[in-house]
Structure 1
Amino acid sequence: MEREKFGTRLGFILVSAGCAIGLGNVWRFPYITGEYGGAAFVIMYLVFLAIFALPALIMEFAAGRASQRSIARSYDVLEPAGTKWHAFKWLALAGNYLLMMFYTTVGGWMLAFVVKSASGEFVGLESSQVADVFNGLLADPVQLAVYMLIIVGVGVGVTRAGVQKGVERVTKVMMMALFVVLVALCVRAVTLPGAAEGLRFYLMPDFSKMFAGATLAEQLATFGDAVYAAMGQAFFTVSVGMGGMSIFGSYIGKDHTLTGEAVRVAGLDTLVALMAGLVIFPSCFAFGVEPGSGPGLVFITLPSVFNEMPFGQLWAVLFFVFMTFAALSTVIAVFENIMSFTMDQWGTPRKKACLVNGVLLAVLSMPCVLGFNVLAGFTVPGIGDIQAIEDFLVSNNILPWGGLLLVLFCTRKSGWGWEGFLAEADTGSGLKFPRWARGYVAYVIPVGMLIVFAMGYAPIIAKWAGLG
């Protein structure tokens, strides 16, 4: 059976960007930026994105396009005979499932807030009252399960329709709508009275905030935390390490070099993150809200901020529609990766793959739903509840290890090798991958990925040591 392809180059770029553009861009990025001093952190993040995450993104595209398979078979096709690189595909599959086991629930939160905003439930409420609404949502397993199942249903429905008629068509429309809504929100935010202070915080670097502390040791610790946060955010934002990008690489032709395509995808992803900051920081400063207030910024702080604006209910609805589209673009992309894995590995027809995986994903998402209410007492010290555990397994373990293995596979003679990778990456017209960067890619980037892995465990080990 002939492999499905994207209908257009724009479709490939938007779907790949949609996979990368997730809640991390508009939820995690702004509050981390706020925590580490605004523009100074943004600059560091952009540097790490260019020198650390982008090469890994190009490699994942290359593995997919060269093999014409998802990660289920890409290692099998490209590895030298007798090697066992293909065993790592099961780590990637586990990562995709684990990600969706909590991401579908969080996506459901966004959809719930669209409904609650549109119905006027937040009108006139203070932050503490908005928090009560959010906590009430978390405490209601039926409501959470319904919204989660809607998200799963959309993901299954779109992927069941195929690459061009489903994934490409729906994601293109959704991404274009996402940008229109985001531009409207940016214009509203930057024209608020008092927004200039937020823009100054966000766009004018203040490196002193990256060295906060009374002693040299405290200052170095703060800087180390900022470096780790920027490195981790850059790596996680392009979704490399679980095969999410190799599948889209397998759906495109060889007309254009992969370095140029990866720059476009990463550029769109970063643009959304930066524009989200243009919405959040001016809004927070205009109404005297702390921009580094953590994940509650989105679900508790911003609805009360929108209440202060003229036509605030409209802006709240638009914001949570934007957030829902950001979540769904990732859900659809990861669902497609899971479905294609099943199709490539076992020869399963698409409709059957969607049915089986859809049921499985719905069932596997229930522990996260129940983890906020019925199973709220189940926690791991230093990590947290069920959602935090699943997030930790993906973000702190599977993504860095998957990315490390990918880089090693593309640079070592025992794997696909540098020449094989370079030949595929440079096929077509456009920006070429720098051949001179082999040493850097082969040794420096893996060390950076190991640092991300080790630093992710540092606070947990400290917590456990304190308990002992």
Structure 2
Amino acid sequence: MEKRESFQSRWGFILACIGSAVGMGNIWMFPTRVSLYGGGAFLIPYIIFVVLIGSTGVIGEMSFGRGTRSGPIDAFGTACERHGKRKIGEALGMIPVVGSMAMAIGYTVVMGWILKYAIGAFSGTTLAPEHVDDFADKFGSMASAFGNNGWQVLILCITMAILMFGVGNGIETANKIMMPIFFFLFVGLGIYIAFQPGAATGYHYIFRIDPVALADPKTWIFALGQAFFSLSVAGNGTLIYGSYLPDHENIPAAAGRVAFFDTLAAMLAALVIIPAMATTGAKLNQGGPGLLFIYLPNLIKSMPGGRLIIIIFFVAVLFGGLTSLINLYEAPIATVQEKLHVGRKAACMIIGAIGLGVSLLIQGIVSGWMDVLSIYICPLGAGLAAIMFFWVCGKKYVEAQVNKGRTKPFTKLYYPICKYLYVAVCFIVLILGIALGGIG
């Protein structure tokens, strides 16, 4: 049997998991929700849910992957095998793998946009439009059907090139480089913004606690959605990274670090974007791609040193997004390796070809594509992984996997909390997403 690849260091694994979690949700959605739902009134439930999901689902998916040394299909199959239902488990394991592939395809479109704007930040084209309507027209043209083919192909080639180098030399090395740079650049932007006139108004806006917003169920619902999707529990990426982890690593400690740095990334984005908006008196009520590609470039254009700021900003966003894209493609690549018994480079070429063809075709409908995945597939995948690990595998197996690499056993409350509370949370996210048209 061929030896399974593994991460070469503890921090390499942690940075890879942080990279998988840090993405567009931290940058274009978190600051908007902080702004819309009462600043600190949103942060309170958000942190509660980050702690809950980080200490249950993230640990569970990492442990499940390490315990089975496989991706979702074989992991689900292994869980069901003791009940004579391996084929059923493998069929259910296809759901998070297909979801990961579909999400990666949609993300490829978005990363093509980001690469174009990052390169344009250096050449000057990103800030070339004169007015906000011009920025909107530029983005609309790019985001239309077949509107950004070249940059999209290039970002996919970069991603597959990294993945071809494998887990240690590819994924781990890329995250060791890109994640520290991401945090360094955003800290630098935050310091610069702090010295701009009017920034204090933005800080007050972030940390105020609006009692009305805190009592509003929507604040808690969208804080749950933000935490759930930000921590990348979907039955695929965290599970597959866990499968590359040696037995001596302490998974609960690693999950805690991932949750901390993911939250730090989101807060850094808020501490840059909300005060920056406040310097011009603008209210942040526009999230999603419009914030990133229309309103922020228009704002940065008017700031002192705008040319340098836009370079730093989009390079940081590019690195944050690329690490997430790597993670999304890894689950289907590993699955192709396992099921077709081909080498890593061949698997990357197969998945890359599918990703290229489909991503080029969905450029004009990518928003709807991603909505379907975030509403239905991601929470379903997380829920299925949780059921397989906590219900099908059982208490003895779960506790044995979670406690590997620890000097002291993890809390006895872990299993019942996950079995009853976390599994329920996954399906609550699914139901609320369907009812409200998405909460992630």
Normalising by structure 2, what TM-score? 0.94
Measure how far apart 1:411 and its partner are.
Answer: 2.1
Distance in 2, matches of 1:137 and 1:240, equals 31
For residues 460 and 162 of structure 1, do their structure 2 counterparts lie closer, same or farther at Cα, with a shift above 3 Å needed? closer
Secondary structure in 2 matching 1:141: coil
Number of the residue aligned with 2:349: 355
What's the % identity of the aligned pairs? 29
Render the CA deviation track for 1:196-227: whole Å, top value 9, x for unaligned: 0101111232232345xxxxxxxxxxx22222
Number of the residue aligned with 2:136: 131
Number of the residue aligned with 1:51: 52
Measure how far apart 1:162 and its partner are.
Answer: 1.2
Distance in 1, matches of 2:409 and 2:385, equals 20
For residues 7 and 401 of structure 1, do their structure 2 counterparts lie closer, same or farther at Cα, with a shift above 3 Å needed? same
Measure how far apart 1:430 and its partner are.
Answer: 6.0
Give the 5 Å matches for 1:209-224: 209-210=213-214, 223-224=216-217
Give the 5 Å matches for 1:438-457: 438-457=415-434
Q: Is the 8 A contact 2:178 2:319 kept in 1?
A: yes
Residue identity matched to 1:13: I
Measure how far apart 1:124 and its partner are.
Answer: 7.1
Measure how far apart 1:98 and its partner are.
Answer: 1.1
Measure how far apart 1:23 and its partner are.
Answer: 0.8
Residue identity matched to 2:351: N
Distance in 1, matches of 2:435 and 2:223, equals 16
Measure how far apart 1:460 and its partner are.
Answer: 5.0
Render the CA deviation track for 1:310-356: whole Å, top value 9, x for unaligned: 11111011111111111100111122222111112221211111111
Number of the residue aligned with 2:266: 273
What are the ranges of 5 or more consecutive residues in structure 2 without an aligned counterpart?
A: none
Number of the residue aligned with 1:27: 28
Picking from 80, 84, 89, the partner of 1:82 is 84
Q: Is the 8 A contact 1:104 1:365 kept in 2?
A: yes
1:397 aligned to 2:376? yes
Distance in 1, matches of 2:431 and 2:129, equals 45
Q: Is the 8 A contact 2:199 2:278 kept in 1?
A: yes
Q: Is the 8 A contact 1:195 1:286 kept in 2?
A: yes
Give the 5 Å matches for 1:337-416: 337-369=331-363, 371=364, 386-412=365-391, 415-416=392-393
1:145 aligned to 2:139? no
Q: Is the 8 A contact 2:61 2:235 kept in 1?
A: no
Distance in 2, matches of 1:442 and 1:362, equals 39
Measure how far apart 1:459 and its partner are.
Answer: 3.8
Render the CA deviation track for 1:445-466: whole Å, top value 9, x for unaligned: 22222221112122459xxxxx
Distance in 1, matches of 2:366 and 2:135, equals 21
Q: Is the 8 A contact 2:111 2:321 kept in 1?
A: yes
Give the 5 Å matches for 1:28-427: 28-79=29-80, 80-83=82-85, 84-121=88-125, 122-123=127-128, 125-139=130-144, 141-142=146-147, 144-210=148-214, 223-295=216-288, 296-369=290-363, 371=364, 386-412=365-391, 415-427=392-404
Residue identity matched to 2:157: G
Distance in 1, matches of 2:29 and 2:437, equals 19
Q: Is the 8 A contact 2:398 2:415 kept in 1?
A: no
For residues 55 and 124 of structure 1, do their structure 2 counterparts lie closer, same or farther at Cα, with a shift above 3 Å needed? same
Measure how far apart 1:437 and its partner are.
Answer: 3.9
Render the CA deviation track for 1:116-165: whole Å, top value 9, x for unaligned: 222223157332222222123224725x1111111111111111111111
Secondary structure in 1 matching 2:248: coil
Secondary structure in 2 matching 1:435: coil
Distance in 2, matches of 1:290 and 1:19, equals 30
Distance in 1, matches of 2:174 and 2:143, equals 29
For residues 256 and 459 of structure 1, do their structure 2 counterparts lie closer, same or farther at Cα, with a shift above 3 Å needed? closer
Secondary structure in 2 matching 1:3: coil
Distance in 2, matches of 1:256 and 1:310, equals 47
Q: Is the 8 A contact 1:105 1:147 kept in 2?
A: no
Distance in 2, matches of 1:430 and 1:150, equals 46
What are the ranges of 5 or more consecutive residues in structure 1 without an aligned counterpart?
A: 212-222, 372-385, 462-468
Render the CA deviation track for 1:374-405: whole Å, top value 9, x for unaligned: xxxxxxxxxxxx22332122211111111111
Residue identity matched to 2:143: L
Render the CA deviation track for 1:66-88: whole Å, top value 9, x for unaligned: 11112231222343240232321
For residues 318 and 185 of structure 1, do their structure 2 counterparts lie closer, same or farther at Cα, with a shift above 3 Å needed? same
Distance in 1, matches of 2:60 and 2:240, equals 12
Distance in 1, matches of 2:70 and 2:129, equals 52
Distance in 2, matches of 1:85 and 1:30, equals 39
Aligned residues: CA RMSD: 1.8
Residue identity matched to 1:37: G
Q: Is the 8 A contact 2:98 2:332 kept in 1?
A: no
**Deviation beyond 6 Å, 4+ runs, structure 1:** none
